[in-house]
Amino acid sequence: MGTEAVRVAVIGAGRMGRVHVSALSGSRNAEPVAVVDPVAEAREQAAAGGLAAYASLEELLSAGGFDAVLVAAPSDLHLSLVRELAAARVPMLCEKPCGMSADEARAAARAAEETGTLLQIGYWRRFVPELVSLRERIARGDLGEIALVASHQWDRFPPSPEFRAHSGGIAVDMAVHELDQVRWLLGQEIESVVAMAAGRSEPGHAPSDPDAAVALARLSGGTTANITLGRRFGQADSCWIEVFGSEAYERCTFMWAADSERAFLAGLTAQADAFAEAVRGGSLAGAAPEDAVAALSAAERIAEALEQAEESELAGRSA
Ligand SMILES: NC(=O)c1ccc[n+]([C@@H]2O[C@H](COP(=O)([O-])OP(=O)(O)OC[C@H]3O[C@@H](n4cnc5c(N)ncnc54)[C@H](O)[C@@H]3O)[C@@H](O)[C@H]2O)c1
């Protein structure tokens, strides 16, 4: 492939797919050319923006006119889409979590590997300049020995019930970002977790899908990660991380208030640039399939802990 922009088709033109179309439009070496979505309104909106629009992946594959895809369909469709795309040998960037469980992520990784197809995972925070620089300082030892990191993701509003039904719960949907972030920042694996829901959630929520939760993870290098997740922050979607080292403390607030959307879009565009490089034959700079497996494996343990915490609370109340 020459130096022409890599033509990307976005599978799933919902909330995230539309942000990806904008991010791809700002890329230096990739461009959005098509969307796939079964919902006519989503296709009409994409077509009005000059993109080709298809109702199914099969239609896209037979029409052609693209070099790679970005999977932004509901998480419970990631594995089947990755399998179909791998069979067609289409390079892909799949949104997190890349399956609903570590087993599904493993199966996705296998499908890509068996056909030699590029599969990058959409952990976009790996492309946030402030986090890249923090990671370098940690690796150099500037912060000394890291006892504790506190990693926070507080969303403005909860997602729709429809989204929640296909998301796998707060750990599989939200905590995976923090889990990937701490693994990548510190170069440590997650060994054990404890977790509990925080505050009150809407009646009828699944035990593994409260509106807020806290998880503590013990990492392989001795660091403890305190992960807080919230879905009713009221102000813009916000993310920040604090690192407590023996030599220094750092707080990196990379998504906050009025700057939140800009930072998100910039991270996604940088991720798209790196993906396009990999599609052209460069090495994979973002998260790999095994990173999806690691994040989901820890997320599953957080989900189990949330379920157990709710069971013992209910048992305590009825005793
Ligand atoms: N990286 C991030 O920060 C981030 C943020 C939000 C969502 N996400 C991920 O993006 C994915 C989508 O989330 P969303 O918030 O956009 O959900 P959404 O419900 O808003 O959008 C999903 C879209 O996929 C479409 N769809 C359904 N079946 C399809 C199919 N078979 N083929 C193609 N499209 C299909 C739906 O019609 C809908 O338009 C999820 O996996 C989610 O985890 C990632």
Q: Distance of alpha carbon 169 from its chain centroid, rounded?
A: 14
CA end-to-end span of the chain: 67
> Which of 11, 43, 76, 95 has most ligand 1 atoms within 8 Å of its beta carbon, as the pocket-test mutant?
95
| Ligand 1 center–CA 153 separation, angstroms | 19
Give the span between the Cα atoms of 217 and 171, in whole angstroms.
13
Please indicate whether residue 233, judged by its CB atom, sits closer than 6 Å to ligand 1: no
Closest CA to 177 of 220, 123, 228, 133: 123
Going from the Cα of 318 to the center of ligand 1, the distance in angstroms, rounded, reads: 39
Q: Is the CB of 39 under 6 A from ligand 1?
A: yes
Beta strands in 80-156 (DSSP E): 92-94, 119-121, 146-154
Q: Is 219 in the pocket of ligand 1 (CB under 6 A)?
A: no
The whole-number pLDDT of residue 313 equals 74
Every domain of the chain and the residues it spans: 6-124+264-286, 128-257+296-318
pLDDT of residue 15: 96
User: Given the CA of residue 160, which atom of ligand 1 is nearest to it?
Assistant: 19
| Residue 56 near residue 36, CB atoms below 8 Å | yes
Give the pLDDT score at 295. Answer: 98
pLDDT at 311: 77
Is the CB–ligand 1 distance for residue 36 below 6 Å? yes
Shortest CA distance to 286 belongs to which of 299, 266, 268, 263? 268
Is the domain spanning 128-257+296-318 CATH 3.20.20.140? The answer is no
pLDDT for 2 equals 53
Per-residue confidence in pLDDT tens, the chain, 319 aa: 557 999 999 999 999 999 999 999 999 999 999 999 999 999 999 999 999 999 999 999 999 999 999 999 999 999 999 999 999 999 999 999 999 999 999 999 999 999 999 999 999 999 999 999 999 999 999 999 999 999 999 999 999 999 999 999 999 999 999 999 999 999 999 999 999 999 887 777 899 999 999 999 999 999 999 999 999 999 999 999 999 999 999 999 999 998 999 999 999 999 999 999 999 999 999 999 999 999 999 999 999 999 998 877 777 777 6
Mutate to test the pocket of ligand 1, among 18, 20, 22, 37 (most ligand atoms within 8 A of CB): 37
Q: Residues 6 or more apart from 62 whose CB is under 8 A from it?
A: none
Give distance in angstroms: CA of 227 to centre of ligand 1.
24
Question: 107 C-alpha to center of ligand 1: Å?
Answer: 20
Omega before 207 cis (within 30°)?
Answer: no
Q: How far apart are CA 82 and CA 94, in angstroms?
A: 8
- Same fold? 6-124+264-286, 128-257+296-318: no
Q: Sort 150 into a burial class: Cβ within 10 Å, 0-12 / 13-18 / 19+.
A: middle
- Going from the Cα of 177 to the center of ligand 1, the distance in angstroms, rounded, reads 16
Residue 203 token pair? 């009646």
Domain spanning 6-124+264-286: which CATH class is it, in words? Answer: alpha beta
For residue 44, the model assigns a pLDDT of 98
For residue 167, report the phi and psi dihedrals to the nearest 5 degrees: -100, -20
Q: Taking the model in full, what pTM does it have?
A: 0.96
CA-57 nearest atom, ligand 1: 32
| Ligand 1 proximity of 278 Cβ (cutoff 6 Å) | no
Strand ranges in the chain using DSSP code E only, listed in sequence order:
6-11, 30-36, 52-54, 68-71, 92-94, 119-121, 146-154, 190-197, 212-219, 224-230, 238-245, 249-255
Per-residue pLDDT at 89: 98
Residue nearest to atom 25 of ligand 1 (CA): 12
Q: Point out the ligand 1 atom lying closest to the alpha carbon of residue 124.
A: 1
Index of the ligand 1 atom closest to the CA of residue 77: 31
Query: How far apart are alpha carbons 314 and 304 in whole angstroms?
Result: 15
Q: Are 70 and 20 in contact (CB under 8 A)?
A: yes
Q: Could you tell me if 273 and 120 are in contact, meaning their C-beta atoms sit under 8 angstroms apart?
A: no
Length of the chain: 319
Q: CB of 73 within 8 A of CB of 18?
A: no
Phi/psi-derived region of residue 135, left when phi > 0, alpha when psi is between -120 and 50, beta in every other case: alpha
Whole-number Cα distances in Å, 139 to 144, 184, 240: 9, 11, 19
CA distance 222 to 150: 14
